[in-house]
Structure 1
Amino acid sequence: MLAQNRSTPFLWGFRLYVAVFFVFLASPLIAAGAFAFNDSLFPALPWQGFTLDWFFNDTEPKLGMFHDRRLLRGLYYSFVIAVTVSALSVFVGTTNAFLFVRGRFPAKNFFYIVMVIPLVIPGVILGISILVLASDTANYLENNLDLELEFLRPGIFLVVLGQFSFITTITSLVITARLKKFDETMEEAALNLGASRARVLRTITLPFLRPAMIAAGIVAFLVSFENFNTTLFLVGSEAPLTITMYDRMAKVGSTPVLNAVSFFLMVGSGLLALLSILVQRDKSSR
């Protein structure tokens, strides 16, 4: 009874801490989302009334995000980059998983650490390093061989390369964790029954890895879509959405249309995260 009385203040203190923590996390997001519906030219109090103009209006000064060509162009470039990065990252992450789980080669642990290193390197450093390497290579080829390679200049290719350099580590770790749980006797049984290695991979191993591959692809898409610090140093004229929003903020200041974009991204990210959870839960329940 005494122990129970002593634990009661601790329990209430823990609940209070959790509540304050989640309020601290959610308050900026709620504020940003709320001002996307404020019938005002500025994202600030007082509340002027509910409106959807910042999403759908087609005239100034309340030009909605779905009629803002620059924002839509940034959204398109972000989508193209994110899809490309996630596809490449899942493919390479899957091969990395097989390499580090099934492979036997010298200095395996060393190369595993090398694979993980991009996660702890600041994105700014990654962006600058890739930009310097690509620019120096392009300048050398142009000056000495009269060979001009535009894809080594700031643009979508370098943005994809920069994001791929660290997002692949994330997908590799997710898929590796799933592959370690796989029972290899299932493959051995199929091989003993006459199935080829390609068929075993296609019908047994990859279906087992599919939930992790889908989840890793969704995470890679989200991380790529919202990336800013690495992208900032590698972007060219095809600016993705994060860079477009930053440029708008720097030149014009905060406007409700940026809150509308933020709300759109929050909803989209939440739905993708929910999809990732449902995919893994549905597969594990079978």
Structure 2
Amino acid sequence: MLNRNRNWGFLLGYRLYVLAFFVFLAAPLVAAGTFAFNDSQFPSLPWQGFTLDWFFNDTEPKLGMFHDRRLLRGLYYSFVIAGCVSLLAVAVGTCNAFLFVRREFPGKNFLYIVMIVPLVIPGVILGISILLLASSVANWFDDSLGIDLGFLRPGLFLVVMGQFSFIATIASLVITARLKKFDAAMEEAALNLGASRLRVLATITLPFLRPAMIAAGIVSFLVSFENFNTTLFLVGSESPLTITMFDRMAKAGSTPVLNAVSFCLIIGSGLLALLSIVIQRDRTTG
């Protein structure tokens, strides 16, 4: 009887802990989403009524996010950066997966650790390091050879390279995990039947990896889109959405239009995450 009471108490405590944990995670998101529809110029209680002005209104003082040119410009740059980073990360991640799964070479374990290291380096340190390196190289070329390497100055190129430096690791790990499950006998059978290695790669191996590549692309896109620490030190005049929102909050404080942007980002991120899960589940089931 005593053991039953202990088990019941432990189960109750565990359930309460899980509930509190998810409430802690969800409460800020719910608050941000709720105040995006509050008919007030300040994102705080009391509730003034339901409104969509913070999304669609085209006049001040309630200028909606879809009419705010600066926010839309930041959103555009975020899509451009995230798209470039995700494409590069999937391409390099696929190559890394083949390299570390299919090949044996001296220093393989050391290089694998080097690939993982960017994940444990704080984004601030990563951003500062890349900025110092790029600026030093650009200054040397400018002072010594009179060549202006503008792409090494703060701007879109540096932002893409800075984010790619650690996001490529995430894509590599996702695709590597999938490749390790691949049965190499399928490739051997196709080769024995006369197929070329390129055809085997295109018709057997890459289709098997496609769910992981799509998932890696989605994850890379999301991580790039929301990145702030590394981007802050590498950004130029083309500010992505995270930097634009930070500047807006620093100058004007929190406003409901930022809650509206946050609500759209929450919905968009959730849908992309669900899409990634569905794609992998369908492929696994099939």
Whether TM-score is above 0.5 comes out as yes
Residue matched to 1:19: 19
TM-score where L is the length of structure 2: 0.99
Question: Superposition pairs for residues 125-140 of structure 1, below 5 Å?
Answer: 125-140=125-140
Shift of 1:247: 0.2
Question: Superposition pairs for residues 205-244 of structure 1, below 5 Å?
Answer: 205-244=205-244
Question: Superposition pairs for residues 87-236 of structure 1, below 5 Å?
Answer: 87-236=87-236
Give the distance between the partners of 1:17 and 1:138, measured in 2 at CA: 53
Q: Deviations over 1:125-179 (max 9, x none)?
A: 1100110011111111011101001101000000000000000000000100100
Shift of 1:2: 4.5
* Paired residue secondary structure (1:51): coil
Q: Amino acid of the residue matched to residue 124 of structure 1?
A: V
Give the distance between the partners of 2:218 and 2:181, measured in 1 at CA: 21
Residue matched to 2:81: 81
Shift of 1:3: 2.9
Shift of 1:4: 2.6
Shift of 1:79: 0.2
RMSD of aligned Cα (Å) = 0.7
Q: Amino acid of the residue matched to residue 284 of structure 2?
A: S
Give the distance between the partners of 2:57 and 2:212, measured in 1 at CA: 40
Give the distance between the partners of 2:284 and 2:17, measured in 1 at CA: 33
Give the distance between the partners of 2:208 and 2:2, measured in 1 at CA: 51
Give the distance between the partners of 1:103 and 1:196, measured in 2 at CA: 19
Q: Deviations over 1:187-234 (max 9, x none)?
A: 000000000000000000000000000000000000000000000000
Give the distance between the partners of 1:11 and 1:195, measured in 2 at CA: 57
Give the distance between the partners of 1:190 and 1:3, measured in 2 at CA: 59
* Paired residue secondary structure (1:154): coil
Residue matched to 2:248: 248
Question: Superposition pairs for residues 256-267 of structure 1, below 5 Å?
Answer: 256-267=256-267
Give the distance between the partners of 1:50 and 1:86, measured in 2 at CA: 37
Q: Amino acid of the residue matched to residue 255 of structure 2?
A: T
* Paired residue secondary structure (2:158): helix
Shift of 1:61: 0.3
Q: Amino acid of the residue matched to residue 123 of structure 1?
A: G
Count of residues in correspondence between the two structures: 286
Shift of 1:46: 0.4
Give the distance between the partners of 1:217 and 1:285, measured in 2 at CA: 21
Q: Deviations over 1:90-148 (max 9, x none)?
A: 00000000000001110100000000000000011110011001111111101110100
